[in-house]
Structure formats: C-alpha cells, structure tokens
Structure 1
Amino acid sequence: MALRVTFVAAARSSSLLAERFDDDRPLDQGGWDEVLRAGGELLPLAAAELRYCSPTPRSRATGDAIGCVPLVQLALRDCDMGRWRGLTLGEAMAREPAAVDAWLADPRTAPHGGEPLLAFITRVGDWLDTRPGEDGDRIVAVAEPSVIRAALVYVLKAPPATYWNLDVRPLSTATVTGRAGRWNLRFEGASASRS
C-alpha cells in the first residue's frame, strides 16, 4: 500500500489572462461560483485523513468551501517571485525582457531576486516526500496551480522545463500515489474505477 495524495487547484481569483505572480487575492465571485458548481464532485475529498492547503486566501477558501478545513502548509506556497510579485508575465516582460527570457530558459536562475524554478520544484517535492501517514491514507492538498505543476514535475522526475508545459486549471485535481522518492501519477475516472 501507499499514500494517496490528491492535489486540488484553488478556484480562481481573477481572469486567467490576468494571473499574477505570487497572487494572494481572495476568491472573486467567479471563483465562488466555480466552487459551488464543482462542490459535489470534490466533496468526497473532505473525508481524507489529512487535509492541507497553501497559505493563499483562495486556497484556504477553496479548501473550506469543499469541506476540507485544511491545515496551512508554508511549503505549499507559490514560487517566490521577488520583485515580480504581483505582476503578470506580460508586465514583467515589458519591464525586464532579458531577465524574463533568462528565467524561462534556465531553471537555476532567479533574475527577479526570488526563488529559482528548480528550488521551487524541490521545495514542493520535499513537502510531498515528508508527508506522514499510514499505508492507504488519503491526503488532500489544495494549492495554487503553480504548486501542483511543481509537484507533478517532481513526481514524474521530469526535466524542470516540463513545468511550462503543464496546464493546471482551477478546481482540477491530480492524484499521486506512493512514498518518498517513489511517486506515481494516477489517472482516475468512471471506467478506471471498474477495474
């Protein structure tokens, strides 16, 4: 047996086109509406033995709204974007195009003065590897889409550049099973539960 960790992407707090680095805004009305529509599907996750969330207001609110009452985990915070905090990618690009290009090309750099992508992926992976629990325990973690992307890169042992190719939508879920250093991505659905 293994641990089962289901990541839930926080509901939105803005238009996807206006996503900001290190966004700490609360859920907007659209986000609340999304949670209400998806609540029935996500409600069974509240039965997990351990329930966590990243420290953003929208992650906490999403977790509470789906009945998880999650414990805040600082290790699940978004990537520290330094002086780009609060900017959109387009705004950062307009201000510092060479720095943004360097950041996108090399996961070990942090031209914004914050956290390199590789360090972010490692931090989230370390959190995953240190989850307590017994074989078969279910864990739920409500987090920003960026945190889930970092976790999936870690789980798959994929090159850091893979991070940019993962699209995690608000209120989507991703489940991983395993133990420290030995994780598997698990796809589920109606037909998968019959076998």
Structure 2
Amino acid sequence: MHVRVTLIAAARSSSMLAERFDDDRPLDQAGWHEVQMGAHRLVPFGAAELRYCSPTPRSRGTGEALGLAPLVQLALRDCDMGRWRGRTLSEVTAREPAAVDAWLGDPRAAPHGGESLLAFISRVGQWLDTRPADDGGRIVAVAEPAVVRAALVYALKAPPATYWNIDVRPLSTVALTGRSGRWSLRLDGNEAPGSA
C-alpha cells in the first residue's frame, strides 16, 4: 500500500525581505497575482482524494483560490517561534545574535521558547506518516514553504541541517510517494494527480 502526497507551497504574503517568523498575514497582491498566473497548472490537483492546508491565512487563501476547498490540518502549521513570532530574522538577530546562532547551529535548540527545528520536522513527518495508505491514493496539501522543507528533510531522512539548504518558492510543488517511514521524492511536481 502506498500513497502520493503532493505539497504545494503557499503563495506569498510579503516580500522575501519582509517575511516574519510564524507569519499570519493573508495573501498580498503579489500572492493573489501568483495564484492567478499559476492556477492553470495547479487547479488539476483538486482531483486528489484528500485536500489539506496549513492553518495560516495565506495557505488557506491559496487553497481556496485554487478551488481545492482544503481541510485545515493543525499539524501542518509553521514552526512555533515563541517570542520571535511576528519578527523578521534581521530584527531578532539585532536583539539576540547568540540565540539566533544557537537556533541555526543546533536543531534541538529553541532559544525563542517555541519549537526546535528537530521537533518541527518530526511533527510534520508524523503527519506525513499518518496519511491513509490506500494503494494509489492521492493527497494534496497547501502549506508554508517551511513546512514543505520540513517534509522533505523527514521523507529523505536527511540530517536536520539540510533544512537550511532547501529553497521552496511560492506555488512550487513536490510529490512524495510511499508509506509510513518509507518515502521517495518525485521531481515531476507539475503533474496533475491523475497522471501516471
């Protein structure tokens, strides 16, 4: 028994330089434009048997704009950044440079009082491993780019530090196939769920 999970990174809610930890802003104008421009290649994912999204406004907005009518999954929420929530990396670095270094250097560290990188990756992986394994079943999930990165690290059994080397762009897609504990990365992320 295996399942195919296609992850779609949510459209943007701010410019890359203005991104904030644990951001809860809705899609901005550029994000809506991205969805409109990319909808033709993403709408077919609505044929998936199960459609999910993270609870963030931009993930929900992306899923709704694509016509997916996704079910919110709390396990797909962004990393809990504790007291850093709502701040940019540059703001936090200016105030707590040693804490940022510890967070970036140790996947078990949570100097912000929230969730460590390792705990975040494990949470997303647990969600992935508990998807119903109906032979050939297809699932689509719209989530924050950080969630997609965490899922990839987990699925590939890569070292947690690999997380920092994965670039997930808005509306990019990636497919994972397999079952609990045995996942494969499929790099044809633009295929619709009904494709071979």
TM-score (norm 2): 0.95
Number of residue pairs matched?
A: 193
**Residue pair 2:107, 2:161 contacting (<8 A) in 1 also:** yes
State the one-letter code of the partner of 2:18.
A
Q: Secondary structure at the match of 2:5?
A: strand
Q: Classify the secondary structure of the residue corresponding to 1:86.
A: coil
Partner of 1:13: 13
Residue identity matched to 2:95: R
Q: Which residue of 2 is the match for residue 142 of structure 1? A: 142
State the partner residue of 1:30.
30
- The equivalent of 1:185 in structure 2 is 185
Residues 104-153 of structure 1: per-residue CA shift (max 9 Å, x gap): 00000100000000000000000000011411111000000000000000
Instruction: Name the counterpart of 1:157.
Output: 157
Counterpart in 1 of 2:53? 53
Q: Does 1:128 align with 2:128?
A: yes
Q: Which residue of 2 aligns with 1:69?
A: 69
Q: Which runs of 4+ in 1 moved over 2 A?
A: none
Alpha-carbon separation, structure 2, partners of 1:41 and 1:18: 28
- Partner of 1:120, secondary structure, is helix
| 1:188 CA drift (Å) | 1.1
* SS of residue matched to 1:175: strand
Which amino acid in the other structure matches residue 110 of structure 2? A
Q: Is the 8 A contact 2:173 2:189 kept in 1?
A: no
User: Percent identity over the alignment?
Assistant: 76
In structure 1, the partner of 2:111 is 111
1:79, distance to aligned residue in structure 2 (A): 0.2
The match for 1:89 is: 89
Q: Is the 8 A contact 2:175 2:189 kept in 1?
A: no
* Unaligned ranges ≥5, structure 1: none
**Which residue type is aligned with residue 105 of structure 2?**
A
Matched, 1:171 2:183: no
Partners of 2:151 and 2:174 in 1: how far apart? 10
Listed as ranges, the gaps of 5+ residues in structure 2 are: none
Partner residue, 1:41: 41
Aligned equivalents of 2:64, 2:137: Cα separation in 1: 20
Give the Cα separation in 1 of the matches to 2:65 and 2:33.
11
User: TM-score, normalized by length of structure 1?
Assistant: 0.96
Deviation of 1:67 after TM superposition, in Å, equals: 1.3
Q: Within 2, Cα distance between the matches of 1:105 and 1:189?
A: 31
What's the offset of the Cα at 1:14?
Answer: 0.3
Letter in 2 for 1:21: F
RMSD after superposition: 1.6
Decide whether the 8 Å contact of 2:175 with 2:187 is kept in 1: yes
Q: Distance in 2 between matches of 1:16 and 1:100?
A: 19
Question: Residue deviations 1:85-105, cap 9 Å, x none?
Answer: 011111110010000000000
